[in-house]
Structure 1
Amino acid sequence: MCGLLGVLTSTGTDAAGVDLVSSAMHCMRHRGPDEPGTWHDDDVIYGFNRLSIIDIEHSHQPLRWGPPENPTRYALTFNGEIYNYLELRAELSREHGAEFLTEGDGEPIVAAFHYWGTDAVRRLRGMFAFAIWDTDTRELFVARDPFGIKPLFIATGPGGTAFGSEKKSLLELTGLIGIGTDLDPRATEHYTVLQYVPEPETLHRDIRRVESGCYATLSPGTAPKVTRYFTPRFAVEPFAPRSEASRYQEIAEALEDSVAKHMRADVTVGSFLSGGIDSTAIAALAMRHNPNLITFTTGFEREGYSEVDVAAESAAAIGARHVVKVVGPEEFAASIPEIVWYLDDPVADPALVPLYFVAKEARKHVKVVLSGEGADELFGGYTIYREPLSLKPFEYLPKSVRRAAGALSEKIPDGTRGKSLLHRGSMTLEERYYGNARSFGDAQLRAVLRDFRPEWTHTDVTAPIYAQSEGWDPVARMQHLDLFTWLRGDILVKADKITMANSLELRVPFLDSEVFAVAEKLPLEQKITKDTTKYALRKSLEGIVPGHVLHRAKLGFPVPLRHWLRGTELFDWAHLQIAESETDHILNKAAITAMLNEHREGKSDHSRRLWTVLIFMVWHGIFVEKRIVPQIAEPTYPVDL
């Protein structure tokens, strides 16, 4: 786990460019405080910050590898972990005579690329973003893992192409490659609707992201040619008679194997633990490989907003040592500028804050943590996935009747029972489901955004994704959409950026190719029932997860945002952000102030909408106005974990 930065120049490298890349690496020193490094030749400059996890004494990067006849042909810079690296090394040695000088997981990536070409990315089981420079062909190959666990930003201008783990480092290289720093109004509107910036966009027009499951090839003076190598598909296979037990066993075995491989490290591995089934399953399986496992959770100084008690009960049930971090409103608010700086682009998910504090606490004890991200998208865990069951009667009505029901719902007073059901039942799945986040409707956007464009709203993002799942059952379509939107736009961004802010590597065993291979085959009734979510996963975890968690509803890290924005905890802070922000050309601050006052008076719950614009204001204050300067300390952590 590390931070990478590189430039493929159009006109050749020089000392000034090398120095600039080296300097820009300082922006992401938190991603790899153990060992910085640079390398360059006539066309490429690499920068690298290493967080040493596997083969600590060797596997330095940037890494050189090649076949016996040209042992330094390739140069690799790599962020992530390849969990099947031992199996790959053995196969490459046996079938191709590949030789390795280290015990790490970097060399197998390059060897696989040499012998298998671009198909190598399909053989890698792990999380990754990497670049391979071929000194013979003078071609660069960059790739990102199938689900988008590790980030990879990219920007191309007249001076060349820059790529890296964090956008803030690319912003340091705008003059070198010749790109601008203008904001992207389309991405800004997408963020305001969805609470995150959808891939491949960023809020800077000239900087994009290599999408999950994609690779790109380029040469000096050429633009990247992007190819998608992985598209998740829920190829449902109905359960045959008497096959349920074997399918549940298949899920359990795939997950256990994934956890075993995710435990591979030369440092201490811990686990995050909330009160839910996903993190508890991961921790329970991890205990089989490390009886001294330490688990970590967080909560708030407000009754009714904490998973702490359930997590502690789960830790006791599986026999893990447990560490708790409780967060108060003052440190919650004080941490926001620092967290937003680490994010690169705004993400309006308040769960970022407790994650930041529990990651900081975990880093005092371990260097790697496991977590349960991805289970909901793969196995059908979100409560909203049950909506197609409640709306199924509407499918039998003619479209004209459904539209009439929708028109009727507009005339029913807000808060009236049945209004929402009529409204949502009148719409198609594509119209009503944006993914797991939506802050503003069109009418609210018109009030808040100075330059509202209706063609830039959710369908701009979701329509191409829905087109890929035509004919699937509605829950599979919702899962597919969330894999391309909510998961990689919110869940995995905060998982990577906030843990790496604390120089902590986070691993997600559910987002594994072999686990997905069993999850993608589940029929709807094995995911969602009228009583529960993740039905098949829960059945497969019987005997592994403690009973008090097995059938518990999903809660995650609930944050008392609604209450705090109404009280002294956050109201004054929010009012100050609105007053001081220099975003009048983007946002209607009068409308936002009115929204804040309505919320305080209890007339409406605007907490998520307010949080969305407030986080944008903080982001703008840091990256555009330079008015807010977060205090980023040099990373200092125990070295003997």
Structure 2
Amino acid sequence: VEISNSSINPSSIVNILTLRYDPSINPNLPKKTWEDFEPIDEPVNLTSIESSICDEIEKKLDYTNEQEISIALSGGVDSALMLSLLRKTKPDVKINAVSIKFANSIDETPAASRIAEKYNADHHIIDLENYLSELPKAISIIKLPFWDLHWYYVVKKSQTLSKTLISGDGGDELFAGYTFRYKKFLSLTSENSNTNEKVKAYLECHERDRVPDQENIFNQKSQFSWDSIYSVLSPFFDNNLSRLEQVYLADYNGKLL
């Protein structure tokens, strides 16, 4: 990676291409510390959680006063849940569900179609043959090498249908949905693991976020070092939380923000 523009922060490029996010960018949500993740001695109240989500949906949609709404529907749990709560909250609005069918990939649109039909939503499928065809345009809009490029196509389609788009993004971070990563992290660590060992294990659980020879893709101007990456994650694992709670903390303060 050659960095020649002096206005570009080398550490931002390193972080995005290693962690998939840049911790120096001001987040839309408040950052959390380990104190916020300390367990509380109260049972989980599912009714309260559902009411909280519905109230937030209603508040946002009452503000826009839209009678037609779009939702990104993957066919997974998070987006299906959002569609069901959206229909429960707004039984009379027209809902447009937008899904993407990727070439040479598992087709989840049949499941999405069944979910859309169940909740009386018009289903629109984007048949995407060349995933990278509009990459330069997408980057020019976002101004960052954003990893979830499919959102460009979802938004592009949704703009033709309504002025409001809802998604289930963030559900895995908020409700501990990355079970395969949790299992791997616990297998790589123990209660006696130190902070650095847990940080390295956490990164190993996200091996798809970067290339295997990460240190070789940057030149000297990029100032890449694994120690700098470890320093970003260390605060999430240098505390008295349980190992899984530490992972939840790192996930929240990472890609979610």
Tell me the residue number matched to 1:295: 97
CA contact (8 A) 1:278 1:372 kept: yes
Question: Deviation string for 1:193-235 (max 9, x for gaps)?
Answer: 2234x121xxxxxxxx434557xxxxxxxxxxxxx8x658223
Please point out which of 179, 188, 194 is paired with 2:13. 188
Report how far residue 458 of structure 1 moved. 1.6
| Runs of at least 5 residues in structure 1 that lack an aligned partner in the other structure | 1-179, 201-208, 215-227, 403-426, 489-641
* Residues 1:336 and 2:135 are matched in the alignment: yes
Report the secondary structure of 1:280's partner residue. Answer: helix
CA contact (8 A) 2:70 2:164 kept: yes
Report the secondary structure of 1:296's partner residue. Answer: strand
Tell me the residue number matched to 2:122: 321
Report the secondary structure of 2:200's partner residue. Answer: helix
| Runs of at least 5 residues in structure 2 that lack an aligned partner in the other structure | none
Within 1, Cα distance between the matches of 2:132 and 2:27?
32
With structure 1 as the length reference, what TM-score do the two structures score? 0.35
Q: What is the RMSD of the two structures over their aligned residues, measured on CA atoms?
A: 2.8
Matches within 5 A, 1:193-272: 193-196=18-21, 198-200=22-24, 209-212=25-28, 233-238=36-41, 247-264=45-62, 265-267=64-66, 268-272=68-72
Tell me the residue number matched to 1:454: 225
Q: Comparing both chains, which one has the higher relative contact order based on Cα–Cα distances under 8 Å and sequence gaps of 6 or more?
A: 2
Report how far residue 257 of structure 1 moved. 2.1
Q: AA paired with 2:127?
A: V
Matches within 5 A, 1:74-89: none
Report how far residue 276 of structure 1 moved. 0.8
Tell me the residue number matched to 1:282: 82
Please point out which of 384, 399, 406 is paired with 2:181. 384
CA contact (8 A) 1:263 1:286 kept: no
Q: AA paired with 2:172?
A: D
Within 1, Cα distance between the matches of 2:97 and 2:52?
22
Report how far residue 181 of structure 1 moved. 4.1
Return closer, same or farther for 1:333/1:391 CA change in 2, 3 Å cut-off: closer
* Residues 1:483 and 2:252 are matched in the alignment: yes
Report the secondary structure of 2:127's partner residue. Answer: strand
Within 1, Cα distance between the matches of 2:26 and 2:237?
20
CA contact (8 A) 2:185 2:201 kept: no
Q: AA paired with 1:358?
A: V
Structure with bigger strand share is: 1
Matches within 5 A, 1:200-599: 200=24, 209-212=25-28, 233-238=36-41, 247-264=45-62, 265-267=64-66, 268-288=68-88, 289-291=90-92, 292-302=94-104, 304-329=105-130, 332-347=131-146, 349=147, 351-352=148-149, 354-382=150-178, 383-391=180-188, 394-395=190-191, 428-434=197-203, 436=206, 438-441=209-212, 444-451=213-220, 453-454=224-225, 457-467=228-238, 470-488=239-257
Q: Percent identity?
A: 19
Question: Deviation string for 1:381-419 (max 9, x for gaps)?
Answer: 113123344456x547xx7xx9xxxxxxxxxxxxxxxxx
> Alignment length, in residue pairs?
242
Report the secondary structure of 1:293's partner residue. Answer: strand
Report the secondary structure of 1:322's partner residue. Answer: strand
Structure with max Cα Rg: 1
Report the secondary structure of 1:210's partner residue. Answer: coil
CA contact (8 A) 2:70 2:97 kept: yes
Q: Which runs of 4+ in 1 moved over 4 A?
A: 211-214
CA contact (8 A) 2:100 2:109 kept: yes
Report the secondary structure of 1:333's partner residue. Answer: coil
CA contact (8 A) 1:189 1:457 kept: no
With structure 2 as the length reference, what TM-score do the two structures score? 0.81
Structure with bigger helix share is: 2
Within 2, Cα distance between the matches of 1:388 and 1:464?
17
Within 2, Cα distance between the matches of 1:344 and 1:453?
21
Return closer, same or farther for 1:377/1:260 CA change in 2, 3 Å cut-off: same
Report how far residue 266 of structure 1 moved. 2.4
Report the secondary structure of 1:294's partner residue. Answer: strand
CA contact (8 A) 1:269 1:369 kept: yes
Report the secondary structure of 2:134's partner residue. Answer: helix
Question: Deviation string for 1:526-570 (max 9, x for gaps)?
Answer: xxxxxxxxxxxxxxxxxxxxxxxxxxxxxxxxxxxxxxxxxxxxx
Within 1, Cα distance between the matches of 2:168 and 2:61?
14
CA contact (8 A) 1:213 1:231 kept: no
Report the secondary structure of 1:485's partner residue. Answer: helix
Question: Deviation string for 1:245-285 (max 9, x for gaps)?
Answer: xx222222222222222322223322111111111111111
CA contact (8 A) 2:69 2:164 kept: yes
Return closer, same or farther for 1:285/1:455 CA change in 2, 3 Å cut-off: closer
